[in-house]
Amino acid sequence: MFENISQNNVYKNLINGKWVEAKNKNTIEISSPVDGKFIGKLQALSKEEVDEVFEGSRKAQKAWADTPVNERSKILHKAADLLEENAKELAKILSREISKDLDSSLSEVVRTADFIRFTADEGMHLEGETIGSDSFPGFKKNKVSLVTRVPLGVVLAISPFNYPVNLSASKIAPALVGGNSVILKPPTNGAISALHLVEIFNAAGLPAGVLNTVTGRGSEIGDYLVTHKLVNFINFTGSTEVGKHISEISKMVPVLMELGGKDAAIILEDADLEEAADNIVSGAYGYSGQRCTAVKRVLVLDKVADKLTALVSERVKKLKVGKPEDGGKVTPLISNKSADYVQELINDALDKGAKLVVGNKREGNLVYPTLFDHVTTDMRIAWEEPFGPVLPIIRVRDIDEAIKIANESEYGLQASIFTKNMDDAFYIAGKLEVGTVQINNKPERGPDHFPFQGVKSSGIGSQGIRYSIEAMTRLKAIVLNIK
Ligand code: NAP
Ligand code: G3P
């Protein structure tokens, strides 16, 4: 099924219905973060080729918008079926490309098929409304506003390395079912997996140009893409640094942004500490901490801190560390640069007196799961997003100190509260400046029809299937004036 997307390990781009090589032959070499072995090469498209991509996308979008939504929906269902049929093959590619453990890789692909199916059905209910004029003072019954939802046009989808399949599809599918065309700029680390996903949409019957791709380093081609005159919407998931840059240069183009996070797990005195420890460890060290919704700090009431730290520590020590193909759950990070940054935060915490409970061991870009206790707010690890397997435990006197520290973060993605007291849970949840509060569960984006949003430096707008469709369509009113 994927024979067209590459030749001699050089991956092409889907441009207006054809898999093509870049004219300038500029390529980017991709090696596996697991063992440094060569995986393939990506094309670095030129600005002229990007123009061709946009022109084709704009042209195709007109006909796609006129395609009945039941036909658009049928193609998405076909894509979901094809994805499911190829899930194991794609999961292996993804695991090697981004060093994700095998279970999580397969889960990402299967979850994406479910995502696409749910989107295909949700898109069939893009209802509007009719509004009569006489409900407003002074008006008679002589006007009716017929309100519908229409597509925005060309959606530029930019996805991150840590979910190259799911977080590409989470933009592509809602955009397509809403009648938009899509240009996908996949992450350079993860592009090969994303291009396989694109071929699945292509094979499902998308008309030429409705889904195009642009590979190339975001730092080189990104600004040209984002400021292109034919962009009608930018759907970005990635770092806060890049997100802020995009929002500065995108001017009047509407955006949906899911950015960084520093999700806190707040542990009250009456919490079920075993349950809390299970959630903290899976939340903090899943995919080696490379998840925006990872638990990135624990705020625990002094009274139960010793017990909780001991329970977390015993679980961390049991985590399997190593390559995905060897069953590793904590695997090599996406790059040595990422590992260097994590090590910097570890060293800073040690220098400032944090108590090392587990870890501080590194082999290349493999960072062993690391746990600190007695972290204080003068340490960088208390505030920065490591995007790695390191967790700070911060002890607090009371609930209000926990809320204060939680809200002092520049980020506001999710937070978790562990307690049996629902009055306390809702009191805290009401005060937290985040997009989502989990009660007695780790932070997480799923299920994917839930609204998912970040505030402050964690994002703009809401993702989640219906919310993404609404974000990538707009209202159009036709007013009937009755004589
Ligand atoms: P990143 O470095 O910001 O890259 C994200 C995407 O943006 C990649 O496709 C990247 O391309 C592209 N890009 C880079 N510079 C660009 C520019 N100037 N203009 C346009 N596009 C540009 O993020 P990442 O390392 O892939 O992912 C990790 C970060 O994303 C973390 O901060 C994490 O918290 C965040 N994240 C958030 C969520 C969420 O749902 N809130 C989900 C996942 C990840 P290249 O790969 O070619 O650089
Ligand atoms: O970082 C990816 C973000 O979307 C989190 O997804 O499902 O791991 O909570 P999830």
Residues 131 and 147 in one domain: yes
Alpha-carbon distance of 79 to 423, in angstroms, equals: 45
Q: What is the pLDDT of residue 462?
A: 98
Is the dihedral angle over the CA atoms 119, 120, 122, 128 positive or is it negative? Answer: positive
pLDDT above 90 (res 298): yes
> C-alpha distances in angstroms, 151 versus 61, 208, 450?
9, 18, 22
pLDDT tier at 396, thresholds 50, 70, 90: very high
In this structure, are residues 115 and 452 in contact, taking their beta carbons and an 8 Å threshold? no
Which residue has the CA at smallest separation from atom 46 of ligand 1? 187
Q: What is the pLDDT of residue 456?
A: 98
- Which atom of ligand 2 has the smallest separation from the CA of 170? 4
Q: What is the pLDDT of residue 304?
A: 98
pLDDT above 90 (res 437): yes
Alpha-carbon distance of 223 to 147, in angstroms, equals: 35
Residues 190 and 327 in one domain: no
Residues 210 and 295 in one domain: no
Give the active site residues.
Answer: 258
In a domain, 453, yes or no: no
Q: What is the pLDDT of residue 409?
A: 98
pLDDT tier at 166, thresholds 50, 70, 90: very high
Residues 359 and 392 in one domain: yes
Q: What's the total number of domains in the chain?
A: 2
In a domain, 219, yes or no: yes
In a domain, 205, yes or no: yes
Residues 14 and 51 in one domain: yes
Cα of 187 from ligand 1 centre, angstroms: 7
Residues 223 and 271 in one domain: no
pLDDT in tens, 313-339: 999 999 999 999 999 999 999 999 999
Q: Which of 43, 40, 36 is nearest to 21 (CA)?
A: 43
In a domain, 319, yes or no: yes
Q: Over the chain, what is the mean pLDDT? A: 98
Q: Answer yes or no: is the C-beta of 290 below 6 A from any ligand 2 atom.
A: no
In this prediction, residues 266-286 reach a mean pLDDT of 98
Work out the percent of the chain whose per-residue pLDDT is above 90.
99
Neighbour count for residue 458 (Cβ, 10 Å):
28
DSSP 239: -
Q: Which ligand is nearest to the CA of 448?
A: 2
Residues 396 and 312 in one domain: yes
Residues 193 and 247 in one domain: yes
- Measured torsion, CA atoms of residues 8, 217, 256, 168, in degrees rounded to the nearest 10: 20
In this structure, are residues 302 and 314 in contact, taking their beta carbons and an 8 Å threshold? no
pLDDT in tens, 179-231: 999 999 999 999 999 999 999 999 999 999 999 999 999 999 999 999 999 99
pLDDT above 90 (res 25): no
In this structure, are residues 313 and 371 in contact, taking their beta carbons and an 8 Å threshold? yes
Residues 220 and 283 in one domain: no
pLDDT tier at 24, thresholds 50, 70, 90: confident
Q: Answer yes or no: is the C-beta of 445 below 6 A from any ligand 2 atom.
A: yes
In this prediction, residues 421-443 reach a mean pLDDT of 98
Kindly report the CATH number assigned to the domain that includes residue 251: 3.40.605.10
Alpha-carbon distance of 24 to 15, in angstroms, equals: 15
In a domain, 207, yes or no: yes
Residues 403 and 474 in one domain: no
pLDDT above 90 (res 127): no
Cα of 219 from ligand 2 centre, angstroms: 23
In a domain, 1, yes or no: no
In this prediction, residues 7-20 reach a mean pLDDT of 97
Cα of 219 from ligand 1 centre, angstroms: 10
pLDDT in tens, 54-107: 999 999 999 999 999 999 999 999 999 999 999 999 999 999 999 999 999 999
Residues 220 and 83 in one domain: yes
Single pTM value for the model: 0.98
Alpha-carbon distance of 235 to 231, in angstroms, equals: 11
Kindly report the CATH number assigned to the domain that includes residue 290: 3.40.309.10
In a domain, 243, yes or no: yes
End-to-end CA distance of the chain: 59
In a domain, 483, yes or no: no
Residues 219 and 304 in one domain: no
pLDDT above 90 (res 480): yes
Query: What is the domain range of residue 170?
Result: 6-259+459-478
